[in-house]
Amino acid sequence: MHVPDGFINAPVSVGAGVVAAGAVAVSLRGARRELGGTSHAEGHGGERTAPLAGLVAAFIFAVQMLNFPVAVGTSGHLLGGALAAILVGPYTGVLCLSVVLLMQGILFADGGLTALGVNITVMGVVTVVVAYALFRGLVRVLPRGRRAIAAASFAAALISVPAAATVFTVIYAIGGTTDVPVGKVLTAMVGVHVLIGIGEALITMLTVGAVVAVRPDLVHGARGLAAPLKLRVGGELVDAPVAARPVPVAALPHSLRRGRYPHPRAVWATGLVTALVLAGFGSFYASSSPDGLEKVAADKGIDRHVEEHAAKDSPLADYGVKDISDARLSGGLAGVIGVGVTVVAGTGIVWSVRRRRTTHADPTRVPEAV
């Protein structure tokens, strides 16, 4: 759903940019709480969330390269708002999506630069807000446990995609550069993005479920939900006593941390390798059909004034490395570079946010070993 330059007029694009900048500013403040925490237990959570946030940005970048078919001649790809919000929190999630969209726009000529505010608002703010609000509402009413997290993740991701399509249509109604009836655009956009939302929901549910299965304490949306903890005692895995609150893994004796829960660095490394494989190899098998917005734009004629991307001469434009003729090698290398740049940028931003939060909260606090 990357909006190119020329779909939305300049005044509305500027207005969307102001909204996006405001949302990022608010998210920076909120992310300091999510990454820094306000209590001893939450502080440990923040220390583990910071590196995971950069990984989430890189993973979303990689999976967005994997367009999947949703109808004849139409494809879709992950938006990632629900996934980011559930894994690392809504404020940090907005920052993750903003980093992804910025990297895509500047380096890969994907999504217009003048439309960056529109894209961040639609893909990075609306999806996160809608998904996280629905997710939190569902986990409050569903029986606590992994099944509830899976069901809530699926529903939140599914609804967030047509919600984003609806907001894009509203923006188009206000500042579209073509004279196409808004009703037709809305029907087409919501219709195709409901189908895309199903794919988004499956990817989100499976990814969140995979992380919850190995390290539930790393999942922001699962904090506070009772989950059985397995401890290795005498060479056997046994259920830990049920407590009012889940016991932080870092608070356990080292001998008891081994067993069910791998070290956060192992989770991070596994996630990064997965993202590199998906972007470097899996992307070659992605659908080449236009995505939902591109298909609707072509069918309804809202792309008549589309403009060439300002970064069209980038050495990584269109997810290929310039001067490399082999399509598989070019696309795979571009994907690997994109994952690397995104994980570095995302991790750098969240660590700087966390460091500032920790310094302002207690300049004398000595970080504890994880």
Residue whose entry in the numeric block shows the structure tokens 């889940």 = 246
Which pLDDT score is estimated for 47? 59
Q: Is residue 145 a contact partner of residue 227, using CB atoms and an 8 Å limit? A: yes
Residues 6+ apart with CB under 8 A from 110: 2, 104, 318, 319
Q: In whole angstroms, what is the distance from residue 180 CA to residue 302 CA?
A: 7
pLDDT in tens, 126-172: 999 999 999 999 999 999 888 999 999 999 999 999 999 999 999 99
Separation between Cα atoms, residue 55 and residue 83, nearest integer Å: 12
The pLDDT value recorded for residue 212 is 92
Predicted confidence at residue 224, as pLDDT, reads 67
- Supply the pTM of this predicted model: 0.86
Strand partners, 232: 237
d(CA 88, CA 190): 27
pLDDT per residue as tens digits for the range 8-67:
999 999 999 999 999 999 999 999 888 864 333 344 455 566 678 999 999 999 999 999
Count Cβ atoms within 10 A of the Cβ of residue 45 and give its class: 0-12 exposed, 13-18 middle, 19 or more buried.
buried
- Domains of the chain and any CATH numbers: 10-224+262-361 (1.10.1760.20)
When pLDDT is averaged across residues 95-102 and rounded to a whole number, the result is 97
The one-letter amino acid code at 305 reads H
How does DSSP assign 257-321, residue by residue? HTBT---HHHHHHHHHHHHHHHHHTGGGGS--S-BHHHHHHHHHTTTTT----TTTTSTTGGGS-
Give how far the C-alpha of residue 134 lies from the chain's centroid of Cα atoms, to the nearest Å: 16
Give the pairing type, strands 230-233 and 68-71: unpaired
Query: Is the Cβ–Cβ distance between 179 and 153 less than 8 Å?
Result: no
What pLDDT score was predicted for residue 240? 54
State the chain's mean pLDDT as an integer.
87
Count other Cβ atoms within 10 Å, centred on residue 308.
12
Among 188, 164, 12, 179, smallest CA distance to 80 is for 164
CA angle 226, 228, 234 (to 5 degrees): 150
